[in-house]
A and B are shown apart, each in its own frame.
Chain A
Amino acid sequence: MKWLQWGRRDRELEEEIRAHLAMAARDRMNRGEPLEGAQRAARREFGNVALIQEVTRQMWGWRWLERLWQDLRYAARGMRRAPGFAAVAVASVALGIGANTAIFSLIDALMLKSLPVRDPSGLYQVSLGRDDTIESLSYRIVRAVAERKEIFSGVAGFTGWVFPVGLPGAIRNTPGALVTGDFFETLGLRPAAGRLLRSDDDERGAPPVAVISDGYWQRRFDGDPETIGRTIRIAGVGVTIVGITPRGFTGANAGAVADITMAVAMLPIIKPESAALLEPGNFWLRALARLRAGISVPQAVARLASVWPGLAERTVSPSWPPDRQREMIEARFTLKPGGTGWTYLRQIYRTPLLVLMGCTGLVLLIACANVAILLLSRATARQKEIAIRLAIGAGRPRIVRQLLTESALLSGMGAAIGLALAWVLSRALVNTISNGRFPMVFDLTPNGRVLAFATAAAIATALGFGLAPALQGASAAIRRRSRLLAALVSFQAGLSLLLLIGAGLFVRTLRNLENVDPGFQREGVLLVDLEGRRSTVPRDLVEAVARVPGVVTASISTHTPLSGSTWSDPAVPAGQPLPKRDNAIFIGAAPRFFETMQIRLLAGRDFSEHDALGAPRVAIVDEAYAQRYFSDRNPVGQHLAAMVRGKSADLEVVGVARKTLYRGLRRAPYPEIYVPYYQLPDNIPSTLEARVRGRMGQAAQAIQKEVQVKLPDSAIDVRPLSEQVEAAMTQERMLATLASGFGALALVLACIGLFGLLRYAVARRTREIGIRMALGAEKSGVIAMEMRRALRLVAAGIALGLPVVWIASRWVKSLLFGLAPTDPATMAGAVVLLVTAALGSAYVPARRASKVDPMTALREE
């Protein structure tokens, strides 16, 4: 290899020149010159040995690589000589690039990563509606669209699902997916073993079969090839495993894992109470489609529009009110790129992640400025070295290249450490945002895109912090350099202020949310989600749980606050017409629900055992409903006309409850109506809740045992209500935590920058300070002077930063709660924090200035 020969070639060139000099000297001696004079003359005649070597080496080609190696070795030597400087610089870059890469890997995993399927860019997500915010379609619509073979070569409908797997008493909830028959064919997947689901599996009456993921196969069945053909019990039904999906494919839902995949048509078998989902009125499937060869997206949209009225007749629910049906028929299909699959997480985390990406970008800028400051102040120390190198014949481009190599080495090392940091950080981040029963699963292994991002960041960093010092370093203008340094420090201060204010806003948003009174007592309540119909819930279950030691009260309801799902139906005071869109939130609640959740009853009574099927139908309205519909009279005793689960009902109001934040902490209270759980139809969800005293863990275990005995076919999972409330603040918590982390990082980096600048300034002005002190300046005066200098720089930064804050605040407005983006207290707090930190870091160099001995300082020059 050529470059292995470098060392040898270098030595040979040296020897060649030595031989030349020896021969020239011998010739001169033969002519009678003395030894020493001959040698000197020969060398003089030869010229600049180093330079001639350099020019000669250039003839070899590959020179740039060799020179790069040389520059790198030189840079490494320089770093070893100034380990403190190198450590701070590398750490700055590592933190900057690490933070950026971590956030980018998350963005990549969530929004950019393609599904591991054939030609993901050929997949389009089908949505219906005036805007494409309605991404869900009904089973009938997906099937009807899939039949249009003149438009699509395939349509894959899917949704995440949870399967209770195992024998009674040992049920494990397993994440999975329900898909339409064309799912795997449309995605173009081949089975790792056995076969995948086909369209005939997605027919009513087909035998229940499932395919499992490669991971599940390895974990649960040790990769045993005999697994194919085995039967597993899902919700008590024997389901045959027919195949394994290819390794790496975990379903079309990004961020979730589908260990078990079954056809949608199997739903009535494995979960009869949810069979209604197959009916036309339910929009719950996402659809990815592949266009037929030769059809463009606009063509497909146009054809869909022309066939839709015909399809709509078959697919729109006839039970819907006529104007809703008409609206549906008039809706339009849209197609957007779907190669990255689908996840609800995108909607939630898009803006926060982009804001955080902006934050980390600013952190990186600060880190760049930091290293630039360090390099610039070091350039002064290296002035002599650079002057010598210029004098012995190094060209200016050569010096600039050397200095750039040094900054590239710094940023390269920083990037390498940063990548490792990002690996850890992005995992920690996914853990903070994934709480709940099924953790988010993202493949965060740095892929090509992430590596490219980190590399680009490193190169931009190297150029960003290296170029100015390199150009400046090669020249010798100290005055210009000082001005550049001061500007960099002010720039850092401004950016830090931006991040600190951002952090302050997000932290206060979180605190505001935590302090919101949701209307119920979140602590001390345990929840158990129950599978099955209402009729399958044993009547004595609540009583049994209430007898568990530690349980104070227990109840059962259809929905719990902030669970993410609500039920809405129209209800108005009797005599008024039912509104078409303006619904109230309905909650089916058993007796003692209000006591258990500690929702105060403001008037009337709680539901009792007598409010059962056959008894007069009653309701409890909340404050919000009472204010809206009964502002002038006492609601208790009034009657409501309502549509409850598709059946009209007359409800007598028997009580008024406090308003609660059922739908979300950030949403305004919405009119709510509680109806007796036991007066509701069979097909309703059920959650059991228990208020406990003392140790939650113990009570949870006892409740789990009690419920499992009564419901052997379900996976019983007891979880605290507080966790559910916490989950409602995940986004805000993530923003607050990360933004404060980045704010603190920015502050530390900016302080290091300021410290570096002042130390350099003091070192440079030793003489001036000496003279001042010789002329009678007090130590305290010198300290004050240096502190004033620091303050001026920071003040300039603040003056620059505040208008930017004002502009940038609009972008985060939607993420805040309970305060304006230009919250004066937050701004003032950030300014005070910044100034305090700046003064703190300025004090050390200022004190050093005051310790200057006038005599030494003057003698030194």
Chain B
Amino acid sequence: MAKQERYQNRVELVQGTLDMLILQTLRWGAQHGYGIGQTIRSRSGDVLQVETGSLYPALHRLEKQGWIRSGWRTSEHNQRAKYYHLTAAGKKQLASEGERWRRVSEAIASLMQPRESGGAL
């Protein structure tokens, strides 16, 4: 029981954020699960490491919600892989999520560093 709950808890902990990061990554084009994980990792300067135990459930959940779609394609290294791409609904979701995130992070930033103003990330 313990192990399964641990994963679920973590998924919940980063849920909104992870979903948003995945959608954001897919903005630049279709990508497979491994690629999404690598992109998030490298673009965050190795700060954010997405666990596969969170990534794949999140991908399948987003697909079920209709924000992303998937299809099989062959990668540049001749590896057949499942590629995900953003749907119109996903783009809308990303916009609203991004907006919400910006407001929240600005608010948090202004609380943490009251003298400075402006962005996060």
Are B34 and A23 interface neighbours, CB within 8 A? yes
Interface string of A12-30 (1 = CB under 8 A from B): 1101110110111011000
Q: Is B81 an interface residue (CB 8 A)?
A: yes
Are B57 and A16 interface neighbours, CB within 8 A? no
User: How far is it, in angstroms, between the C-alpha of A27 and the C-alpha of B53 when the chains are bound?
Assistant: 20
User: How far is it, in angstroms, between the C-alpha of A46 and the C-alpha of B38 when the chains are bound?
Assistant: 13
Residues of A with C-beta under 8 A to B56? 13, 16-17, 52, 55-56
Are A24 and B34 interface neighbours, CB within 8 A? yes
User: How far is it, in angstroms, between the C-alpha of A521 and the C-alpha of B30 when the chains are bound?
Assistant: 100
Find B82's partner among A15, A24, A48 (CB 8 Å cutoff). A15
The interface-forming segment of A58-66, A232-240, A548-556 is A58-66
Complex: chain B residue closest to A49, CB-CB: B52
Are A59 and B33 interface neighbours, CB within 8 A? no
Q: Is A47 an interface residue (CB 8 A)?
A: yes
Are B32 and A47 interface neighbours, CB within 8 A? no
Q: Which of A515-537 contact B (CB under 8 A)?
A: none
Residues of B with C-beta under 8 A to A61? 64
Residues of A with C-beta under 8 A to B46? none
Are B79 and A60 interface neighbours, CB within 8 A? no
Q: Which of B41-61 contact A (CB under 8 A)?
A: 51-53, 56-57, 59-61
Find A16's partner among B4, B33, B64, B77 (CB 8 Å cutoff). B33
Complex: chain B residue closest to A396, CB-CB: B1
Are B8 and A397 interface neighbours, CB within 8 A? no
- Taking A51-B3, A55-B8 as contacts, is the C-beta distance between A20 and B52 under 8 angstroms? yes
Q: Is A393 an interface residue (CB 8 A)?
A: yes
Complex: chain B residue closest to A57, CB-CB: B60
Q: Is B80 an interface residue (CB 8 A)?
A: yes
Residues of B with C-beta under 8 A to A46? 52
Find B61's partner among A13, A26, A52, A59 (CB 8 Å cutoff). A59
Q: Is A225 an interface residue (CB 8 A)?
A: no
User: How far is it, in angstroms, between the C-alpha of A520 and the C-alpha of B93 when the chains are bound?
Assistant: 97
For B, the interface residue count at a CB cutoff of 8 angstroms equals: 28
Find A12's partner among B1, B32, B82 (CB 8 Å cutoff). B82
**How many Å from the CB of B116 to the closest CB on chain A?**
37
Are A59 and B79 interface neighbours, CB within 8 A? no
Find A52's partner among B35, B52, B64 (CB 8 Å cutoff). B52
User: How far is it, in angstroms, between the C-alpha of A54 and the C-alpha of B4 when the chains are bound?
Assistant: 9
Are B60 and A60 interface neighbours, CB within 8 A? yes
Residues of B with C-beta under 8 A to A52? 7, 52-53, 56-57
Are A58 and B64 interface neighbours, CB within 8 A? no
Find B75's partner among A17, A23, A57, A397 (CB 8 Å cutoff). A23
Residues of B with C-beta under 8 A to A24? 34
User: How far is it, in angstroms, between the C-alpha of A47 and the C-alpha of B4 when the chains are bound?
Assistant: 12
Are B79 and A22 interface neighbours, CB within 8 A? yes
For A, the interface residue count at a CB cutoff of 8 angstroms equals: 31
- Taking A59-B60, A397-B1 as contacts, is the C-beta distance between A47 and B34 under 8 angstroms? no
Number of A-B contacts (CB under 8 A): 81
Complex: chain B residue closest to A19, CB-CB: B81
Residues of A with C-beta under 8 A to B75? 23
Interface string of B1-31 (1 = CB under 8 A from A): 1111101100100000000000000000000
Residues of A with C-beta under 8 A to B34? 19-20, 23-24
Residues of A with C-beta under 8 A to B11? 55
User: How far is it, in angstroms, between the C-alpha of A24 and the C-alpha of B81 when the chains are bound?
Assistant: 12
Residues of A with C-beta under 8 A to B38? 27
Are B57 and A393 interface neighbours, CB within 8 A? no
Are A56 and B60 interface neighbours, CB within 8 A? yes
Residues of B with C-beta under 8 A to A55? 4, 7-8, 11, 53, 56-57
User: How far is it, in angstroms, between the C-alpha of A257 and the C-alpha of B56 when the chains are bound?
Assistant: 68
**How many Å from the CB of A803 to the closest CB on chain B?**
43
Are A51 and B7 interface neighbours, CB within 8 A? yes
User: How far is it, in angstroms, between the C-alpha of A54 and the C-alpha of B53 when the chains are bound?
Assistant: 10
User: How far is it, in angstroms, between the C-alpha of A56 and the C-alpha of B38 when the chains are bound?
Assistant: 19
Q: Is A395 an interface residue (CB 8 A)?
A: yes
User: How far is it, in angstroms, between the C-alpha of A17 and the C-alpha of B4 when the chains are bound?
Assistant: 19
User: How far is it, in angstroms, between the C-alpha of A13 and the C-alpha of B7 when the chains are bound?
Assistant: 18
Are A23 and B32 interface neighbours, CB within 8 A? yes
Find B79's partner among A17, A23, A48, A398 (CB 8 Å cutoff). A23
Residues of B with C-beta under 8 A to A19? 32-34, 79-82
Complex: chain B residue closest to A12, CB-CB: B82
Complex: chain B residue closest to A17, CB-CB: B56
Q: Which of A41-79 contact B (CB under 8 A)?
A: 45-48, 51-52, 54-61
Residues of A with C-beta under 8 A to B3? 48, 51, 393, 395
**How many Å from the CB of B33 to the closest CB on chain A?**
5
Residues of B with C-beta under 8 A to A59? 57, 60-61, 64
Residues of A with C-beta under 8 A to B7? 51-52, 55
Are A395 and B1 interface neighbours, CB within 8 A? yes
Are A23 and B81 interface neighbours, CB within 8 A? yes
Complex: chain B residue closest to A46, CB-CB: B52
Are A20 and B64 interface neighbours, CB within 8 A? no
User: How far is it, in angstroms, between the C-alpha of A22 and the C-alpha of B77 when the chains are bound?
Assistant: 11
Complex: chain B residue closest to A55, CB-CB: B57
Are B53 and A47 interface neighbours, CB within 8 A? yes
**How many Å from the CB of A57 to the closest CB on chain B?**
8
Query: 4 closest Cβ contacts across the A-B interface?
Result: A395-B1, A59-B60, A19-B81, A59-B61
Q: List 22 A-B contacts (CB under 8 A).
A: A13-B56, A16-B32, A19-B80, A19-B81, A19-B82, A20-B34, A20-B52, A20-B81, A23-B79, A24-B34, A26-B79, A46-B52, A51-B7, A52-B7, A54-B4, A56-B57, A59-B57, A60-B60, A61-B64, A395-B3, A395-B4, A398-B1
- List residues of chain B with CB under 8 Å of any chain A CB: 1-5, 7-8, 11, 32-35, 38, 51-53, 56-57, 59-61, 64, 75, 77, 79-82
